[in-house]
Amino acid sequence: MRARVIKIGNSHGLRIPKPILEQTGILDDVEIEVEKNQIIIRPIANVREGWDAAFKRMGESGDDAPMLDENISHSWDEEEWQW
């Protein structure tokens, strides 16, 4: 498919057809980089995707217990910190 570079204010841009956006999963923000004279556009992945389900599974299986420390104090807390 060919596209024309158009002027948008002081910049330039491309119109990307909706079917291409749907195929790539691009909905909002993108990451753009140049590699070997090619422009690479990819959707920004949610770095915390799936965390809710993973934490729920951890809680259900009891795997989250080591993450919950009862007392995590340090001598610095008493000597340096003003409460």
What's the pLDDT score for residue 31? 92
Tell me: the pLDDT tens digits for 28-56? Answer: 889 999 999 999 998 887 778 888 888 88
Quote the number of domains for the chain. Answer: 1
pLDDT band, residue 70 (cuts 50/70/90): low
Q: What is the pTM of this model?
A: 0.50
Distance CA 32, CA 41 (A): 5
Domain with 44 in it:
17-65
Distance CA 66, CA 12 (A): 53
The per-residue DSSP string of 6-64 comes to EEETTEEE-PPPHHHHHHHT--S-EEEEEETTEEEEEEPP-TTTTHHHHHHHHHHHTTT
- pLDDT of 80 higher than 80: no
Is 71 within a domain?
A: no
DSSP conformation class of 78:
H
% pLDDT > 90, the chain: 37
Handedness of CA 53, 56, 61, 62 (dihedral sign): positive
